[in-house]
Amino acid sequence: MLQTLHIQKLALIECAELSFGPGLNVLTGETGAGKSMIVDAVGLVLGGRASPDLVRTGADSALVEAVFELPTNEGAQQALEQMGLPVGENLVLSREIHRNGRSASRINGRLANLGMLQKLAQHLVDMHGQYEHQSLLRPSTQLLALDTFAGPELWATRSTYHQLYLRLRQLDERLQELAGDARDRARRLDLLRYEVNELERAALRSGEDQELSQRQRLMANRARLAESATGALHFLYGGRESAAGLLAASRAALSQGGRYDPALSRLANTVEQLGYQVEAVIEDLRIYCRGLEFDPSAAQEVEARLDQLAKLKRKYGDTVEEMLAYGARALQEMARLESAEELAAQVETERSHAKGLAARAAQELSTLRRSAAGALDRLLEDELAEVGMAGTKFGTSFGYQEHPDGLEVEGSSLAAGPWGTDQVEFTLSPNPGEPLRGLAKAASGGELSRVMLALRTVLARADQVPTLIFDEIDAGIGGRTAVAVADKLARLADDRQVLCVTHLAHIAARASRHLLVEKHVEDNRTSSRLAILTEAERPAELARMLGIEYAGPGAEHARELLLRGRQVM
């Protein structure tokens, strides 16, 4: 149950603190006073759409906070547990809207997203917005209402079917991709074969472009390299004054002294080892110098290979590694295109299997819907009788559309939609002797409002939502019908909380709590003010709603209306 609602800087409302009670709570006031803004505020904390335009002029942000009572609301408690949030006696939801478009939501003080608010909303409040009765004319609304009434078993089947339907759409798209233009596929295959053959003939080797570039640099600097190598060779092995000669002389001198002192003998051995190392370097330099001898054919091979790689790089990648990767991808695409027919056959087999499962789910959906429809029709007729439409016949008609590639249901190939093959339409006969016709043709505006009220009543009993909110459900009705609707709302409020924005005094008179919304202008600033009326204040508001002066007979009539409302309660 909704206990309190705090609103700050929202549209015409500067600041308001509202408390609600069990039973029927009504909001009344002149047109434009801001009654529907109260309903909108509740919608905001339940995850409804927010607009920066809702922020009061001159303010940076607006805030709405609602406190709900939770002790007997198992659905909301389970939802909180699934979100990892603590469960207590009360649930506090808040929503802050900033003029820059940002908004912040909280559940019991913890930051939350809109999805979390919306998940909780379905266990807390069932809202019927202004003009929403017009949505009842849409087939999608009618189908959803029937499925909601049918209950969990149908919803499980509906979910299964919907997943199969989505899978079928995916498989259809895949088949279209595979079918493609055969000529385009053939042209693509020819190109890929040419590219793969070209890369295979090139016999690419990872890193060879870098190796060839290095060889090219060596050839280009052959003279400088030869000069450096031969110069070093001369100093190492070019006569008595060369390093090799000097090391040999040093070893001989040390060996002479080694006859008398072993220390010099050890040094002679060290010098001898240095001589061996120098000899090794000399040999390496000789080999290096021979390698620098100019070979025109080798140079041409390097230039030709680098030129070949440069041409390939322009088409397949900046490095040999990238070209090799391109070749691998091309081979994969070739394999995919060449096996397109085989893959299409596999997808078609999967599609056929999914189609069979979807057909069975659609058949089960239709059976469950037809079973629920009869019970819904009878309950709605009973509810309509209680709101001044006794004798009205209500029906749910089922249709379908055939399709050559549809789902096989009871021997017919039927077009599949996201929620099955059924085309559901609510029908009505408000007057005895008239045939059942679609709501758009059979129901007036006032009748449509009452049908919606009856439907909301039935569905609310099915899902046990603790709070119902109606924003001007009384549109288009008056007289005895207004009395009947007032009675219905009062009975509906016997076992749940009902909030109703109304212009009808008969409905207001039945309320257990009456809130008045008034518009005031102060210092050229308009604002909405809200107050809970005392029993002594209510007759004056009822008189205003009746359009009579609150004096003499008018005051007496308003008090009698309120008294009758109390007696019925």
User: Which runs of E-coded beta strand occur in 109-240?
Assistant: 110-112, 125-128
Please state, in angstroms and rounded to a whole number, the distance separating the CA atoms of residues 31 and 143: 34
pLDDT digits (tens, 9 = 90+) for 385-418: 888 888 999 999 999 999 999 999 989 999 999 9
Q: E strands, 419-472, where?
A: 423-429, 437-438, 467-471
Q: Dihedral (C-alpha) 164, 166, 171, 176: value to the nearest 10 degrees?
A: 150
- Asked if the 1-130+472-569 domain carries CATH number 3.10.180.10, the reply is no
Phi-psi region of 168 (alpha: psi -120 to 50; beta: other; left: phi over 0): alpha
Q: Look at residue 463 in the predicted model and tell me its pLDDT.
A: 67
- Of 435, 441, 424, residue with least CA distance to 392: 435
**Domain positions in the chain:** 1-130+472-569, 208-318
Tokens of 509: 């008179």
The pLDDT of residue 227 is: 64
How many C-beta neighbours within 10 Å does residue 187 have?
11
Phi-psi sector, 519: left (phi>0), alpha (psi -120 to 50), beta = beta
Summarised one tens digit per residue, pLDDT across range 490-499 is 888 888 899 9
Q: What is the pLDDT of residue 456?
A: 82
Query: Checking DSSP bridges between strand 110-112 and strand 103-107, what pairing results, if any?
Result: antiparallel
pLDDT, one tens digit per residue, over 409-438 is 989 999 999 999 999 999 999 888 889 999
Lowest-pLDDT range of 380-384, 451-455, 541-545: 451-455
Residue 279 confidence (pLDDT) above 70: yes
pLDDT tens readout for residues 173-215: 988 887 777 678 888 889 999 999 999 998 888 888 777 776 6
Do residues 24 and 501 lie in contact, with contact meaning Cβ atoms separated by under 8 Å? no
108 closest CA partner among 71, 51, 67: 67
Instruction: Read off the pLDDT band of 31 (50, 70, 90).
Output: confident
55 close to 62: Cβ distance less than 8 angstroms: yes
Higher-scoring residue by pLDDT: 503, 449: 503
Nearest-angstrom CA–CA distance, 464 and 495:
10
- What does pLDDT average to over the chain? 86
Amino acid at 471: D
Query: 10: pLDDT confidence band, cut at 50, 70 and 90?
Result: very high
For residue 538, what are its two tokens? 């209510």
SS3 letters across 416-433: CECCECCEEEEEEECCCC
C-alpha pair distances (Å), 528 with each of 129, 251, 519: 20, 114, 4
pLDDT at 78 over 90: no
Contact of 75 with 123, CB cutoff 8 Å: yes
Above 70 in pLDDT, residue 217?
Answer: no
Top-confidence range, 156-165, 467-476, 556-565: 156-165
Per-residue pLDDT of 324-366, as tens digits, reads 999 999 999 998 888 877 888 899 999 999 999 999 999 999 9
Give the angle subtended at the CA of 131 by the CAs of 464 and 425, to the nearest 5°: 70
Cα 69 to Cα 3, 316, 408, 514, distances in angstroms = 7, 68, 49, 20
Q: What is the DSSP letter of 23?
A: S
From 166, 207, 154, 126, select the one nearest 469 (Cα to Cα).
126
Taking the C-alpha atoms of residue 20 and residue 367, their distance in angstroms, rounded to an integer, is 42
What is the percent of the chain where pLDDT is above 90?
38
Q: Supply 293's token pair.
A: 């001898």
Radius of gyration of the chain from its Cα atoms, rounded to whole angstroms: 45
Choose the weakest-confidence range: 309-318, 324-333, 468-477: 468-477
**In the predicted structure, residue 460 carries a pLDDT above the cut 80:** no
Rounded to 5°, the CA angle 243-245-246 comes to 65
Listing DSSP states for 123-155 in one string gives HHEEEE-TTGGGGGGSHHHHHHHHHHHH-HHHH
Mean pLDDT of 530-541: 91
Structure-derived torsion over alpha carbons of residues 263, 267, 272, 273, reported in degrees to the nearest 10:
110
Tell which residue, 389, 371, 373, 370, has the closest CA to residue 381. 389
**458 token code pair:** 């039935």
Q: How far apart are CA 300 and CA 307, in angstroms?
A: 10
Place of tokens 């001044």: 388
For residues 128 and 141, give the distance between their C-alpha atoms in angstroms, rounded to a whole number.
13
Q: What is the pLDDT of residue 448?
A: 81
Res 117: pLDDT: 92
Residue 310 region by backbone torsions, left for phi larger than 0, else alpha for psi between -120 and 50, else beta = alpha
pLDDT tens sequence across 89-127: 889 999 999 999 899 999 999 999 999 999 998 888 888
Alpha-carbon distance of 17 to 529, in angstroms, equals 10
**Cα separation, 440 vs 96, whole angstroms:** 40
What is the reported pLDDT for 296?
A: 62
Query: What pLDDT score does 562 carry?
Result: 87
Q: Where are the beta strands (DSSP E) in 166-237?
A: none
Q: Is 518 in a helix, a strand, or coil? A: strand
Burial class (CB in 10 A: 0-12, 13-18, 19+), 329: exposed
Sign of torsion over alpha carbons 294, 298, 304, 309:
negative
Contact between 543 and 552 under an 8 Å Cβ cutoff? The reply is no
Task: Give the model's pLDDT for residue 132.
Answer: 59
Check whether 61 has a pLDDT greater than 70: yes
**Can you give the pLDDT at residue 340?**
78
